[in-house]
Amino acid sequence: MTFHKIRLTFVLFQESLCQLITKRIGVETFVDKLAEIAKHEIYSKALKHPQIRINTAADIQFDHEFCRMYKGIVVSNLKSAD
């Protein structure tokens, strides 16, 4: 796949995702739910502990990498909103 095809695929995915959020979920609801992630105890634990420690697969909620990426996105969005 060339760079241009990858870029086009990403842009189309991004547009589809934006339409889904806008038309089916609602932007305000989506933003509120995203904000709730950082307030959850499971998020805090996963952010502090890079190694996943679980007894069963049902115990896993977030992994460290997800939390790290989420935190980076939220911070960058807050900076761009200013």
Amino acid identity, position 11: V
In a domain, 7, yes or no: no
Position 82 confidence tier, pLDDT thresholds 50, 70, 90? very low
Q: Each residue of 47-73: pLDDT tens digit?
A: 887 787 778 877 777 778 888 888 888
Beta-carbon count within 10 A of 22 CB: 11
Tell me the whole-structure pTM to 2 decimals.
0.57
Question: Based on the structure, what is the number of domains in the chain?
Answer: 1
Question: In percent, how much of the chain has pLDDT > 90?
Answer: 2
In a domain, 59, yes or no: yes
Instruction: State residue 46's pLDDT score.
Output: 82
In a domain, 32, yes or no: no
In a domain, 70, yes or no: yes
In a domain, 71, yes or no: yes
Amino acid identity, position 13: F
In a domain, 12, yes or no: no
In a domain, 8, yes or no: no
By the 8 A CB rule, do 61 and 42 touch?
yes
By the 8 A CB rule, do 68 and 46 touch?
no
Residue numbers of the domain that contains 60: 40-81
In a domain, 28, yes or no: no
Mean pLDDT of 6-34: 85
Measured CA to CA, the distance from residue 44 to residue 60 in angstroms comes to 13
